[in-house]
Amino acid sequence: MRKISVATGRPYEIFIQRGIIDSCGKIIQSVSSKSQKVMIISDSNVFPLYAERIKKSLSDVGFTVYSHIFPAGEQSKNLHTIYEMYQSLVENSFTRKDLIVALGGGVTGDMAGFVSATYLRGINFVQIPTSLLAQVDSSVGGKTGVDLPQGKNLIGAFWQPVAVLIDPDTLQTLTPHFFADGMGEIIKYGCIKSRSLFDTLEKENAENIIEEIIEECVTIKRDVVQRDETEKGERALLNFGHTLGHAIEKEHNFTDISHGQAVAIGMVMMAKAGENNGITRKGTAERIACLCQKYHLPISDTTPIDNIVRSSFNDKKSTGSAVSLIVLDEIGKSRIYPVEKSEMLDFITKRVKIYE
């Protein structure tokens, strides 16, 4: 078993092991020994695959197990779904001593985490991420959130889990589309913090070394989060490609383009804009574009660029008259670069040729 300790305000550990969902009960009991009830929150795709195994493991150590299932997809990431989760907790008399288990991908983890942060002003929760994107990124760090029609994750809270249990075997049930979705975030880590990871992704097939990749990405995020838990500075670097990516998702009404795909497009656009504004080393955007294509991710979008830029103004990283963009100096080195909203369109489009 690989174990990574996270020294945030509420410290916890990340466990990485094949088959860990079958022994999750003992681990969860060790981190939440006073809990009597567990609510598994999951979506309609993931729940049928793993819930019975997790229920058995939890029941075997004495927990009374309940479940709440919502329709799979980003479209469910809204306040109505959150309200229904609250109702399930109230109807089953959950108290502050009880526990939520988030079983699924990033949408599940974000919403279950937000419910945990706000129900009774905070109860414990455990992340059991089953998608590649959630395993390498969204399950770690304590960001929770819900979408509004105006933008992604505009409501949220920082609320750390009491444990994260990562079972790489769950990736076997992912379609190629959702494996590629997670690769968008993995490539991001190489871009912002690890040239060696980026080089490895170019040379190797990520599927063949996925456990090592998960551990490296989680370790990078752990280190950043420990230094900046509530995103006052360095943690913003984790948003490379996300300001434009979130805007692209919104322009597609959160339906026909996934998060990792949108981030891939956003990374290519930001790298090219960085090059053309004299910030980023020449050739960086082409390397990123080629790597995204290797892992079956798109690198362009048909949405008019002015629409994307306008939608980006509702991004969480928008402060007053400026947007804090994340740019690269080169692969593996990133920084925060504020741009005035009035200059944003020119910054992004300045001699930019979006790769076809």
**Which residue among 37, 77, 188, 259 is the active-site one?**
259
Burial 123-158 (b: 16+ CB within 10 A, else e): bbbbbbbbbbbbbbbbbbbbbbbbbeeebbbeebeb
**Annotation marks residue 259 as catalytic:** yes
Taken in order 160, 162, 168, 169, the sign of the CA dihedral is: negative
**In 3-state terms, what secondary structure has residue 355?**
coil
Residue 148 makes CB contacts below 8 A (sequence gap 6+) with 78, 79, 154, 155
**Annotation marks residue 152 as catalytic:** no
Q: How far is CA 348 from the centre of its chain?
A: 24
**Annotation marks residue 188 as catalytic:** no
The one-letter amino acid code at 72 reads A
- Residue 250, token pair as written in the block: 């919104």
**Annotation marks residue 296 as catalytic:** no
- Distance between CA 219 and CA 140 in Å, rounded? 10
**Which residue among 121, 203, 232, 353 is the active-site one?**
121
**Which residue among 246, 250, 272, 317 is the active-site one?**
246
**Which residue among 124, 152, 185, 193 is the active-site one?**
185
Size of the chain, expressed as the number of residues it contains: 356
Other C-beta atoms closer than 10 Å to the C-beta of 93 total 8
**Which residue among 45, 124, 153, 239 is the active-site one?**
239
Q: In the chain, what is the straight-line distance between the N-terminal and C-terminal CA atoms, in Å?
A: 43
Q: Which of these, 167, 160, 161, lies nearest to 132 by C-alpha position? A: 167
**Annotation marks residue 242 as catalytic:** yes
**Annotation marks residue 18 as catalytic:** no
**Annotation marks residue 80 as catalytic:** no
- Cite the DSSP H helix spans in the chain: 24-31, 47-60, 79-91, 106-118, 132-133, 176-193, 195-203, 210-227, 242-251, 259-276, 284-294, 305-312, 341-349
**Which residue among 55, 68, 77, 143 is the active-site one?**
143
**Which residue among 55, 152, 188, 221 is the active-site one?**
221
Q: What is the largest CA-CA distance in the chain?
A: 63
**Which residue among 55, 77, 222, 242 is the active-site one?**
242
**Backbone dihedral angles phi then psi of residue 335, each to the nearest 5 degrees:** -160, 165
**Annotation marks residue 121 as catalytic:** yes
* Active-site annotation, residues: 121, 143, 185, 221, 231, 235, 239, 242, 246, 259
